[in-house]
Amino acid sequence: MVTVSKDHPRYNSLILRDKLVDGCKKGITNFHGLIAHGRGEAFDYLIGESSTTNALAATEVASAYMLTAQRPILSVNGNVAALVPAELVELSEMIGAPLEINLYHRSRQRIEKIEQHLRDFGARRILTGRDYVRLPEIASERAKVDERGILLSDVVFVPLEDGDRSEALKKSGKTVLAVDLNPLSRTALAASVTVVDELTRTMGNVIEFTKRMQNAEDKEVLEVLKSKFDNVQNLKTSYSIILSRLQNLSESDGPLNIT
Ligand code: ATP
Ligand code: MG
């Protein structure tokens, strides 16, 4: 691990990069995951590197879906496993959802390493796609889902998912909850709820909301949250957030301050 001073302006970003590089060294994260992370970082710059009110509202709706699901499931890939293993385990226990290891660049060896990594963080229910079926309309290894997991689920939390798979999951009738810093990606457009925010920030927020709403006496509140949500409007608001941020910067007087 590289030692980074907390005063460094990119402290958080450097810590996340370090976790992913470490994930690559351990064989749980694929090199392509580093590139995907870089694309996310670029959008985080545009958003302002903090959770917007709009993202918090979508996160709350995602939590409401997970709390009211019949068979929720959390999908884990190599970046997700490297960035938020402890948070995944905590959420999995809170809502009674198994973790399904679902890789874009799939290999038996990497699945086993991720499984062990999650167990080291206390995970108890892990599905690995050993018994799998293929989602229609997708070629290659990416089509595989565990027949006891994602296949049977009604609500799938798929942080950092690929566009093809998100679209296929949605078409198969599932509620797809995505986390993606890029509000223009196919995943963002295909999901039922798109949280346009950075994954580590989102996981903290999801856990906080889920804890608070778990005890909500009135389950009706969760249903209202779900029914009032409009993902197209959520994405449009994400575009306006970026637009007005750049507009304000481009019109500002004096020295530029982007923080
Ligand atoms: P799509 O397949 O949905 O069109 P893509 O091909 O551009 O998107 P992928 O490589 O399939 O992207 O998936 C990576 C996505 O995850 C990117 O859109 C990126 O913005 C996002 N991303 C990467 N790291 C993070 C992170 N830490 N938090 C939130 N989003 C992230
Ligand atoms: Mg993609």
- Interstrand relation of 132-134 and 144-146 (parallel, antiparallel or unpaired): antiparallel
Q: Which of 162, 167, 203, 206 to mutate to test the pocket of ligand 1 (most atoms within 8 A of CB)?
A: 162
CA of 43 to the centre of ligand 2 (A): 15
Q: How far is CA 20 from the centre of its chain?
A: 15
Map residue 145 onto helix, strand or coil: strand
* Tens-digit pLDDT profile for residues 166-214: 999 999 999 999 999 999 999 999 999 999 999 999 999 999 999 998 8
Q: Could you say which DSSP state residue 152 is in?
A: G
User: Which of the ligands is closest to the CA of residue 40?
Assistant: 1
From the CB of 47, is ligand 1 less than 6 Å away? no
The model carries a pTM of 0.94
Alpha carbon nearest to ligand 1 atom 16, residue: 160
Q: SS3 string of 98-114?
A: CEEECCCCCCHHHHHHH
* Tens-digit pLDDT profile for residues 217-255: 678 899 999 999 999 999 999 999 999 999 999 998 877
From the CB of 40, is ligand 1 less than 6 Å away? yes
CB 31 within 8 A of CB 38: no
